[in-house]
Amino acid sequence: MVPKKIALFSGAFNHIADGVTLTLNRLVKHLVNNGSEVRVFAPTVERPAISHVGTLIPTPSIPMPGRPEYRISTGLSRRIRKELKEFKPDIIHIATPDVVGLKALWLAKRLNIPVVSSYHTHFTSYFKYYKMEWLENWTWSYLRWFYSQCEQIYVPSESMADVLRGYRITENLHLWERGVLIDLFTPERRNTEWRRQHGIGENEVVISFISRLVWEKGLDIYAKVIEALSEKGIPHRSVIVGDGPVREELEARLTNTLFLGYQRGEDLATAYACSDIFLFPSETETFGNVTLEAMASGIPAVCADATGSRSLIRDGITGYLATPSDDASFLHYVERLALDETLRQTMGRLARKRALEFAWPVILSKIEGYYDTLLGYKQLVEVPEKDAELVGSV
């Protein structure tokens, strides 16, 4: 791979810990380790949730109304624009098509710098949770225009690419899946002592939810399934890993659930491996990092048949895809797995095998290859006509 100068613009990089920020930090680390220079332009806070990699240039932002843990970018200052021009990037990569992303796009066009974008958040899928469906048509119109200005668009799954094509975003789509640390998330971390220390009985099937605790992750469906299993008298223990604004409400509702809070590293990997079923009803994922981590841990997953998960799970083989928003459908599959240990073990082995296809080094090298292809093409079209024959022969 050829060293490059990359300017990355994102709506989040270190102020919140989620799949987007962790993915972008891994990308930046990979690029820097391979000799490239990277400048990240993103909001930040006084006490960020994660320790970021690379050089971060903070962009102006304000807390999101009602959800202050998120930030809304407000623009690019004169100092930031000057710093970008002096950096002279080979590529501008926009991860969020927000106000700063739009201004970065305009600036790139003015400076004749190629622009690429990666699709991380399926914004329109969140609207129904906030009674904002009226914004959907306008949003897709804007996104169609925005992505038409980009020379490459990196989508995390084929199912997400299909959604974009359905909204007439069809050009320059390139598949860039998310990866998993296969040596960290592994069935070998399964630990009977961990289960005993947390008061989990030998005959209890652990049904885990691991993600940020917000309703749009399908937590109401998760709670309904757990409540139904209790009514049926099926031995189980629900375990929730993560934090967020609805945690207190969930704790009051699911009084027999083990809430472990935010976990990372080996603690997180152990929580996965000590589970028996991963239940993730979210319909808003573009990929499903947590689903892949569960699969790598040898755990069968029951997920919504929606973008992201349907590109990971082989229905009926490595896990199950339930009807979105249908708690009866989720309950049906969870109950089947809870009552059949052999089925859980078989699906778990096949899930692990499937996850091995998503090792991070392979995934990160793919996007760098896209960069190099774009820059190579640019170099070819800029070759003087008298030298074109020589370049072609090489």
Q: Given this model, what pLDDT does residue 65 score?
A: 83
Q: From CA 212, how far away is CA 226, in angstroms rounded?
A: 18
User: pLDDT (tens digit, 9 = 90+) per residue, 133-181?
Assistant: 777 888 889 999 999 999 999 998 888 899 899 999 999 999 998 889 9
Residues 172 and 110 in one domain: yes
Predicted confidence band of residue 384 (pLDDT cuts 50, 70, 90):
very low
Structure confidence by residue, pLDDT tens digits, 78-127? 999 999 999 999 999 999 999 999 999 999 999 999 999 999 876 666 66
Can you spell out the DSSP letters for 24-47?
Answer: HHHHHHHHHHTT-EEEEEE---SS
CA 11/CA 80 separation, integer angstroms: 15
- Are residues 340 and 195 located together in one domain of the fold? yes
Burial class (CB in 10 A: 0-12, 13-18, 19+), 253: middle
The three-class DSSP label of residue 289 is helix
| Other C-beta atoms lying within 10 Å of the C-beta of residue 255 | 6
Res 129: pLDDT = 63
The size of the chain, in residues, is 394
Q: Do 219 and 346 share a structural domain?
A: yes
- Same domain? For 72 and 216 the reply is no
- Its pTM stands at 0.73
Is 151 found in the same domain as 222? no
Put residue 303 in one of left, alpha, beta given phi > 0 → left and psi -120 to 50 → alpha.
beta
Q: List C-alpha distances in Å: 20 to 25, 150, 322.
A: 9, 20, 25
Does 312 lie in the same domain as 227? yes
Does residue 382 surpass a pLDDT of 60?
Answer: no
Q: Residue 188 is encoded by which pair of tokens? A: 């070998």
pLDDT at 157: 84
Q: What is the pLDDT of residue 125?
A: 65
Are residues 198 and 155 part of one domain? Answer: no
Query: Do 105 and 28 sit in the same domain of this protein?
Result: yes
Look at residue 282 and tell me whether its pLDDT is greater than 90. yes
Name which of 354, 383, 250 is nearest 296 in CA terms: 354
| Total domains present in the chain | 2
Mean pLDDT of 321-337: 97
Q: What is the per-residue pLDDT for 126?
A: 60
pLDDT tens across 223-281, in order? 999 999 999 999 999 999 999 999 999 999 999 999 999 999 999 999 999 999 999 99
Same domain, 16 and 151: yes
CATH number of the domain where residue 96 is located: 3.40.50.2000
- State the Cα angle at 390 between 385 and 393, rounded to 5°: 130
How far is the first Cα of the chain from the last one, in angstroms, to the nearest whole number? 18
Q: Is the pLDDT of residue 386 over 50?
A: no
Could you tell me if 53 and 101 lie in one domain? yes
Helices (H) and strands (E) in the chain, counts: 15, 15
Token readout for 106 is: 């305009």
Instruction: Report pLDDT digits (tens) over 351-367.
Output: 999 999 898 888 898 99
Query: Whole-angstrom Cα distance, residue 158 to residue 312?
Result: 10
Question: For 20-59, what is each residue's pLDDT tens digit?
Answer: 888 999 999 999 999 999 999 999 998 998 889 889 999 9
**Domain range for 126:** 5-179+359-393
76/98 Cα distance (integer angstroms):
12
324 & 193 share domain = yes
Is residue 1 predicted with pLDDT exceeding 80?
Answer: no
Contacts of 123 (CB under 8 A, 6+ apart): 139
One domain for residues 198 and 245 = yes
Half-sphere exposure of 104 (CA within 13 A, CB side): 33
**Given pLDDT bands bounded at 50, 70 and 90, which one contains residue 68?**
confident
| Helices assigned H by DSSP within the chain | 19-33, 78-87, 99-111, 136-148, 158-166, 192-197, 219-232, 247-253, 265-273, 289-296, 309-312, 327-338, 341-355, 360-381, 388-393
Residue among 361, 368, 358 at smallest CA distance from 8: 368
| pLDDT exceeds 60 at position 388 | no
Distance CA 151, CA 136 (A): 24
